[in-house]
Amino acid sequence: MQIDPSDAELMLRYRAGCMASFEALYARHKLPLYRYLLRQVHSASAASDLFQEVWSRVVASRDRYEIRAQFRTYLFHIAHNCAIDHHRRGRRTPVDTGALESLTNAPGPEHERPDRLAEYAEHRSAFFRALAALPLEQREAFLLHEEAGLDLTDIARITRVGVETAKSRLRYAIRKLQRSLVDLHAAEPALPQPARLPQPEPAL
């Protein structure tokens, strides 16, 4: 496994007492981690709690940290466990409209004409709704792939399944999201680079 020396080095420096190293490490990973958690639990408040918990565990375990894998894998392994605990505690919150608004109502690209901004926002909203509608395992595989940038081996390790299962989950997630893009473009071709690959979805 390829080890990311810079992340590991930052973690080791933080363990030695260098706060600036932690700040650099945090800045590097905070955004993918926050988005991963937010899209897993669909609640801004729950995502904030889990976000703090993940970093708190990283801080608490700094003396036991060993360079055995990429720091990113380590971080998202903790995040996965926190999210699973959250779901097991039955704290499935209904979809937080505030969180979804923050996901879907961001301004579009500046080069877009004003008359297409609403259209863009609609497509964006539809895409994230499709993402939110994915089964938990498929959504997680997709988010670990896209946000954390992990490969199938690491996704399988974090989610404690075989590589083939992880691959299958990721593939189904991509097909469903791809279909949502196709549906959007079939209705109104507004997005750049439309995907036009209607495929029958195999039974899970």
Partner 1 sequence: MEPSQEITADIRGARDVSRAYRGFGGPEVPPELDRVVLRHARHALARPPLARPPLARPARERPRRFMILGIAMAGALGTAIAVLDRDTHHIGPALRLLPVISSGANGGRLQSQQLYSTDPLTRKDPRRWRAEIAALRGAGRHAEADAAYREFLAAYPRDAAHRPVDASSEW
CB 5, min distance to partner 1, A:
21
Nearer to partner 1, 6 or 105 (CB): 105
Nearer to partner 1, 90 or 128 (CB): 128
Nearer to partner 1, 90 or 168 (CB): 168
CB 43, min distance to partner 1, A:
12
Residue 117: partners with Cβ closer than 8 Å, 6 or more residues away: 107, 108
CB 11, min distance to partner 1, A:
11
The DSSP-derived string for 102-145 is HHH-S---TTS-HHHHHHHHHHHHHHHHHHHHS-HHHHHHHHHH
Q: Let me know how long the chain is.
A: 204
Count CB-CB contacts under 10 A for residue 54: 24
Q: Which positions lie near partner 1, rule CB under 8 A? A: 14, 17, 19, 22-23, 26, 30-31, 34-35, 38-39, 48, 51-52, 55-56, 59-60, 62-63, 99, 102-103, 106, 109, 124, 127-128, 131, 146, 171, 174-175, 177-178, 181, 191-195, 197, 199
CB 194, min distance to partner 1, A:
8
CB 23, min distance to partner 1, A:
6
Contact 119, 190 (CB under 8 A): yes
Nearer to partner 1, 39 or 80 (CB): 39
The H or E element that residue 28 is part of is: helix 19-41
Identify the three-state secondary structure at position 201: coil
